[in-house]
Structure 1
Amino acid sequence: MTHNHSPEGPEWPVGFRAHTGHGGLRPDGDDISVVVSDRPAVSAAMFTTSLFAGPAVVLSRAHAAGRKLRAVVTLAQNANVATGRQGAEHAAEVVGRVAGLLGIPAEEVLIGSTGVIGRPLPMDAIRAHFDAAEARGTGAFTAAPLAVARAMMTTDTRPKTAVRTVGGARITGIAKGVGMLEPNMATMLAYVVTDAAVAADALDEALRAAVEGSFHCLSVDTDTSTSDTVAVLANGAAGPVDPGEFAAALADLCLDLTRQLAGDGEGATKLLRVTVGGARDAAQARRIAKSVVNSPLVKTAVHGADPNWGRVLIAIGKNTGERDIVPERVTVAFGATEVYPAEPTGETLAKLTEEMRASEVDLAIGLGIGGGTATVYGCDLSAGYVRVNADYTT
């Protein structure tokens, strides 16, 4: 497995191409994107568990069940959620237009829609966009992954892309999402495409394993989006690869995207990484780690570079159902420096304060119960988060 990085961003795997353009979803800039394989593909996908899942998710779930997705269309700045029957009709119309443009069945198209909830799509502008795209033809599909990642952005401050190679195949990933972000399936919008030849069952297994150790370990503000989608499409153009190596590369790519998403959380100035060890099992470790990474008191302490280990303890202690956690066995460290049950000196705390001014902050917790471990990813909480969300729709 190798990483390929360049200032221009990654390239598409063999057989994939893309389009971006302005469809009236935001005042200016690209806000519609389409990624397509020029040959049949196999696919796997996961979606939000929200009770208010949007029409894009409902439609995409049905299409993903066939495991033959070949294209993804994304509408940015408008989630098309809580828009009733009209919203469902609009989502289906967009999928139909994309399928017609590409000459493929509608059931092979996945749709993602992200942004403000409760507003209908500006269908007249979207129709005009696809009319123009049809006039140009798919020969004009020349957008790079970085351009698609930018077109997907809402409150993101930067595009998220990642690439890995395994054998002779390339795996390219793009993602967006920096708020309304606590996954209960995958999280935000993340699309991965590859020219590796992978069986559908193996692809699904690899995706679920990758999500479990990456996107499922991500939280910015504890709120699960109505539109969360992650999907992987494999068209086989580069031939077969070792299944184990492919699964490892996919997991590494998803973790890369997870770190980018956490570090760009709304208003964030720092990536916060919390590792819990010595737990009863991995599930308990993740619950405790999430409890800490989601604590507003911990997040604000990190923002202020304050090694306030008392806030970490209260975030652990509020899990009153975890009866096997005994305070006398718990340890807490900021970076490599233990602060509990040790009694750090003023000099040590001053050093920790300086270390916590860095762009990444690590917290390590030991529970002293068993061998379960988990690492979760989040960010600090600043006044910028309040400002972004207070002004979001006005």
Structure 2
Amino acid sequence: MDVSPTLPPGFRAAGLCCGLKDDGAFDLGLILADQPCTAAAVFTRNHFPGAPVLLGRETIRGGVLQAIVVNSKVSNVGMGEPGLVNASRMAHAVAENYQVDPGHVLVSSTGVILQRLPISKIEAGIAACADLLGPDPLPAARGMMTTDSYAKAVTVKAGEATITVLAKGAGMVAPDMATMLVYALTDATFSSSELDALLRETVDQTLNMLSIDTDTSTSDTCAILASGRVSVDRTEFATALHNAFVQVTEMLARDAEGATKLLRAVVTGANSAADAKTFAKALIDSPLIKTMAYGADPNVGRVLMAIGKCVTCEIAADAVQITINGTVVYGEGKRTDFDEEAMRNSLSGDPVEISVLVNHGPHQATAYGCDLTESYITENAAYYSS
């Protein structure tokens, strides 16, 4: 069951502008639990991780978190030892102001790479959050935003437990665990090892199947905190968490830089899970398919091209069937006699869903992306100086 975004009992959040953004937009978010929580996290696999990621990998080894602090505008990447010192200062500022262990604070930064973090402004902002803490997750989500057009948070129920997920993305999104930052909070009871397994499985099926521009950020972070107030059915919780992450994944895709619509690729019949994922990712990553969706151009041969170039995957030509928004456009080795004008109208809508049967196997995968527009180029051409 979905409900309006609100934090689970035992969590509070705040957001504000601490002076990193010249326009007064929020640039700092804080999430605070009333007590230490079991936790798990996954991070970017980019070879140049930001200082907060390096610190976070060490922090999460203990399997316990009580706070998350995030700044936007500056990513604290590629700054050497001073960057690590500043990430640690953020954790200690939270610890000193809110009486938590600095080793239980997860730090994230997102924004321009290779710029010095204005740490004094952030420290002052962390202290100022004290008067703003409350049950609404959206102020903290606003503090995480870079080129996102709106703050993203969803809340779902799993029995008596509440799950709330905060996220930001927009560009440089091709996770391999956007900058993509995602934080799941729950009052359910789990061990840190259970959370780790659950998070990795959920991320693998959702966020790791999201690609906006194939660029894997230096700062990607996804974490889950469980306060242990409520007992839950494991299967019911896993389903609810998956559904929440699907919602967030589709929100991130729809709100990508310059995007006008969600692109969803569903692959079935693959001989292996790896093949299914490769096919699905090939569809959403193809610039020709992304521009086909944007221009509502029924050039469906581009779909055949995209799956055909997956040369390491097994494909059965006699089995291949391509369906776009419910209309079969290819099957039995040839194009079907579909109505091009009707297809053009269909492609003008949101979402665009491409379903492909690739073989006679049991595996399937869904990938999420968006169209490619002139606005993506405009936004990224000016991002450094914006």
2:39 to 22, 39, 43: 43
Tell me which amino acid in the other structure corresponds to 1:329.
Answer: A
1:389 aligned partner: 380
User: How far has the Cα of 1:132 moved from its partner?
Assistant: 4.4
Distance 1:213 1:131, change over 3 A: closer
Give distance in 1, aligned partners of 2:205 and 2:289: 23
1:290 to 271, 274, 281: 281
1:116 aligned partner: 112
Further displaced range: 195-204 or 98-107: 195-204
**SS at the partner of 1:87?**
helix
Alignment of 1:192-341 (within 5 A): 192-237=184-229, 239-322=230-313, 324-341=314-331
User: How far has the Cα of 1:319 moved from its partner?
Assistant: 1.8
User: How far has the Cα of 1:146 moved from its partner?
Assistant: 1.3
Give distance in 1, aligned partners of 2:151 and 2:125: 23
1:171 to 163, 174, 177: 163
2:366 to 371, 375, 392: 375
Distance 1:390 1:143, change over 3 A: farther
User: How far has the Cα of 1:140 moved from its partner?
Assistant: 4.0
1:69 aligned partner: 65
**SS at the partner of 1:327?**
coil
Preserved contact between residue 65 and residue 104 of structure 2 (Cα < 8 Å): yes
2:16 aligned partner: 21
Tell me which amino acid in the other structure corresponds to 1:333.
Answer: T
Give distance in 1, aligned partners of 2:258 and 2:90: 33
User: How far has the Cα of 1:326 moved from its partner?
Assistant: 3.9
Structure 1 length normalisation: TM-score? 0.93
Per-residue displacement from partner, 1:217-255 (whole Å, max 9, x unpaired)?
A: 111010101000010111123x21111111111111111
Where do 5+ consecutive residues of structure 2 fail to align?
none
Structure 2 length normalisation: TM-score? 0.95
Where do 5+ consecutive residues of structure 1 fail to align?
none
Give distance in 2, aligned partners of 1:266 and 1:17: 30
Per-residue displacement from partner, 1:192-225 (whole Å, max 9, x unpaired)?
A: 1111122222222221121121101111010101
RMSD of equivalent CA atoms: 1.6
Tell me which amino acid in the other structure corresponds to 2:299.
Answer: N
Tell me which amino acid in the other structure corresponds to 1:367.
Answer: V
User: How far has the Cα of 1:129 moved from its partner?
Assistant: 2.6
Preserved contact between residue 267 and residue 384 of structure 1 (Cα < 8 Å): yes
Preserved contact between residue 172 and residue 178 of structure 2 (Cα < 8 Å): no
Give distance in 2, aligned partners of 1:52 and 1:226: 6
Distance 1:309 1:150, change over 3 A: same
2:98 to 99, 102, 105: 102
Give distance in 1, aligned partners of 2:128 and 2:270: 57
**SS at the partner of 2:266?**
strand
- Tell me, yes or no, if structure 1 residue 54 matches structure 2 residue 50: yes
**SS at the partner of 1:70?**
strand
**SS at the partner of 2:8?**
coil
**SS at the partner of 2:238?**
helix
Give distance in 2, aligned partners of 1:113 and 1:42: 22
Give distance in 1, aligned partners of 2:361 and 2:125: 57
**SS at the partner of 2:335?**
coil
User: How far has the Cα of 1:187 moved from its partner?
Assistant: 7.2
Equivalent pairs: percent with the same residue?
41
**SS at the partner of 1:57?**
helix
Preserved contact between residue 269 and residue 303 of structure 1 (Cα < 8 Å): yes
